[in-house]
Structure 1
Amino acid sequence: MLNRRCATGLIAALAVLAGPSVAFAQSYPAKPIRWVVPYPAGGGSDFLARTIGQQLSTQISQTVTVENKPGANTAIAASDVARSPADGYTILSADNGTMVFNSALYSKLSYNPEKDLVPVTLMGRFPMILVVGPNSDVRDAKDFVAKAKAAPGKFSYGSAGAGSPHHLAMELLKVNSSLHMVHIPYRGAAPALTDLAGGQVNAMMVDLAAGAGFIKGGKVRPLAVAHATRLPQLPDVPTFAELGFKGVEASAQVGIVAAAGTPPDVVNALQKQVATAINQPAIRQKLVDFGIEPVASTPQQYSDLIRTEVQRWHQLIREQKISLD
């Protein structure tokens, strides 16, 4: 009888202690959500946040405010969210730079991606595509690699910026194929594509969201996709694997993270709502049309992916001696 009374008392005490946390999670979201995007308005990450955020707002009957906070390779926005209350009401669109690349590219960061931020869901991928100018004499990806290998240091490639997924995707191809090419970083994909179309650089890796207009308009020519499968929007463009280049897979990966310490129940509740939004047929099609591969992973799946990506890309960054300090 005594043991039963003690057990009953213990359960009651635990319930009292857990009560506020459980009640908070059950009522989430009970107020507007601030969604921080570390890039200017108009880009792929911004489009993704605003498209999903609008649907999310409808589902939860709360305002979702998208706030653009660019700078320092996403570090300014990441630091902001890392220092916000761990309650799920301030969230961040985090890409590979935020969660994977930055900790290898910089000797000092204003935030720690592993300790200061908690993964919620990977919303989508922007697969990379190797493109050349319209007047290039390169026939296909195999010919590109052969010509670049035959002229070490003569081929140049543009990117959306040093340390960007576009830059590192080409570094991956360089290592995979033993190429020596000159990197020309730009401030965004648009000026790089413009120079590629004009013949100022020989090639670049670009995602479809940024490059669709140039590809459709014939201003640049796609040679291969750095993805496991062909893209539905470019069914005639082969993957690198099909052409015999194994392991050349790269994409910009954009997910949602929150401040470390956010209750797991809140993280799970947010993930479920975002996944529901992504999987709405109209939203899903809108993302695909824009050049995004929708994902909507669980927090654990996103966390596992980040861990794998860190191992993969940190090794490449170290071996290629890439630094943004």
Structure 2
Amino acid sequence: MLGRRSLLALIGAPLLPLPVAADDFPVRPITLVVPFAAGGSIDVLARLAAQEASAALGQSIVVDNRGGAAGLIGAASVAKAEPDGYTLLLASAAQVTIAPWVNRSLTFDPPRDLAPVVHLADTPMVLVVAERSTMKTVDDFVSEARANRGGLNYASTGVGTISHLVMESLKLAAGIDVVHVPYRGAAPALNDLQTGQVQAMFTSTASAAMMVAAGKLRPLAVTTTSRSPLFPEVPTMAEAGWPAAEVVVWAGVMAPAGTPRTVTRRLERAFIEAIVAPDMRARLVKLGADPVGHGAKAFAEVIERDLALWQRVALASGVKVE
């Protein structure tokens, strides 16, 4: 696993023969695989982007939800699909840059078998505690954890997920010992957090927003380099003094490796056009996402940096998905 060519080298690789002339692509509907169940934030992003990009391409983009195994079932299906541009993946770090380091049973090599097309959006994560908690800052959380070694619990959406590994990165930086309690999704984890069954959690700003507004949760800091529009008064982790937990949670479109670059360029232009449209940007910001709209080369650089980050965290923390 991961004995691979650089993603940047792949971007500049010689083009493979096209099954049809590039100007003819696409001649039939495209499938965009979302590796999670319908209704989540990734699914909403996929449907909005697909609707807008369809107009630019002159063909429909059909969203196909293939959930399971933290998104790896859907991701594997795209990695093994015909590299012709007609099967795409709405990818996130969980499948592409985290799984290679923590999952022992992968049936494919994500950074080798999937090629970046376009970086659509980033979503901040936020460290939250119950509103009734005495912790008001990240330093409060760290101090409490140091004073009660092994006495605090934190929730995540599952072993090896980004909500798990972001906390692991903070644990490593702060030298604290808090107990991991994995859940099957954000909703049950946040319910237990606000009742005091667990004491903290990193989750997406979108997932936390309603409970924060209802006075059930208190946000301590967001993981992005700038503050979230959903929580403009909440500092970043760097502002709070903990830049080691600064993480970009990206989402983007990827294609099977070997897809002709002329085809991925056509897709790249269509999705960028979709994501930078003013009404699209406004809708994504309301959902707590930061629209990006960067092409394949810039997206490949994000993936390379992310691979290095999660390799370091996974090796230092020993996190493994059995």
TM-score interval, smaller chain: over 0.9
Structure 1 position 252, deviation (Å): 2.5
List gaps (5 residues or longer) in structure 2.
Answer: 1-14
Look up the match of 1:175. 172
Look up the match of 1:121. 118
Query: Cα deviations across residues 64-110 of structure 1 (Å, max 9, x unaligned)?
Result: 11111011122111111112111111100111011101111122311
Matched to 2:182, the amino acid is P
Look up the match of 1:290. 287
- Seen in structure 2, the aligned counterparts of structure 1 residues 22 and 86 have a Cα distance that, compared at 3 Å, is closer
Query: Cα deviations across residues 206-248 of structure 1 (Å, max 9, x unaligned)?
Result: 1112221111111111011111111122111011211222232
- From 53, 56, 61, the equivalent of 2:53 is 56
Instruction: Judge conservation of contact 2:129–2:218 (CA < 8 Å) in 1.
Output: yes
| Whole-angstrom CA distance in 1 between matches of 2:17 and 2:177 | 59
- From 75, 80, 83, the equivalent of 2:77 is 80
Look up the match of 2:158. 161
Look up the match of 1:131. 128
Instruction: Judge conservation of contact 1:75–1:110 (CA < 8 Å) in 2.
Output: no
- From 66, 73, 78, the equivalent of 1:69 is 66
List gaps (5 residues or longer) in structure 1.
Answer: 1-17
Structure 1 position 22, deviation (Å): 9.1
Query: Cα deviations across residues 118-149 of structure 1 (Å, max 9, x unaligned)?
Result: 11111111111000001101122211111111
Structure 1 position 19, deviation (Å): 11
| Whole-angstrom CA distance in 1 between matches of 2:278 and 2:110 | 32
**Is 1:267 the counterpart of 2:264 in the alignment?**
yes
Aligned length: 308
Please tell me whether Structure 1 or Structure 2 has the larger radius of gyration of its CA atoms.
1
Q: How does 1:149-298 map to 2 (within 5 A)?
A: 149-298=146-295
| Whole-angstrom CA distance in 2 between matches of 1:43 and 1:290 | 11
- Seen in structure 2, the aligned counterparts of structure 1 residues 260 and 20 have a Cα distance that, compared at 3 Å, is closer
Q: TM-score, normalization: structure 1?
A: 0.91
Instruction: Judge conservation of contact 1:25–1:263 (CA < 8 Å) in 2.
Output: no
Structure 1 position 23, deviation (Å): 5.4
Stretch of structure 1 that moved more, 225-234 or 40-49:
225-234
Matched to 1:316, the amino acid is V
Look up the match of 2:5. none
Query: Cα deviations across residues 280-302 of structure 1 (Å, max 9, x unaligned)?
Result: 00001101110111111111111
Identity of aligned residues (%): 38
Structure 1 position 311, deviation (Å): 1.1
- Seen in structure 2, the aligned counterparts of structure 1 residues 84 and 197 have a Cα distance that, compared at 3 Å, is same
Matched to 2:145, the amino acid is A
Stretch of structure 1 that moved more, 19-28 or 85-94:
19-28
- Structure showing the higher helix proportion among its residues: 1
Moved over 6 A (4+): none
Instruction: Judge conservation of contact 2:35–2:65 (CA < 8 Å) in 1.
Output: yes
For 1:269, what is the secondary structure of its paired residue? helix
Matched to 1:70, the amino acid is G
Structure 1 position 20, deviation (Å): 6.7
| Whole-angstrom CA distance in 2 between matches of 1:229 and 1:19 | 40
**Is 1:91 the counterpart of 2:88 in the alignment?**
yes
Matched to 2:235, the amino acid is P
For 2:26, what is the secondary structure of its paired residue? coil
Query: Cα deviations across residues 171-203 of structure 1 (Å, max 9, x unaligned)?
Result: 111111111000111011111011101111001
Q: TM-score, normalization: structure 2?
A: 0.92
Matched to 1:101, the amino acid is I
Structure 1 position 59, deviation (Å): 2.5
Structure 1 position 111, deviation (Å): 1.2
| Whole-angstrom CA distance in 2 between matches of 1:236 and 1:76 | 39
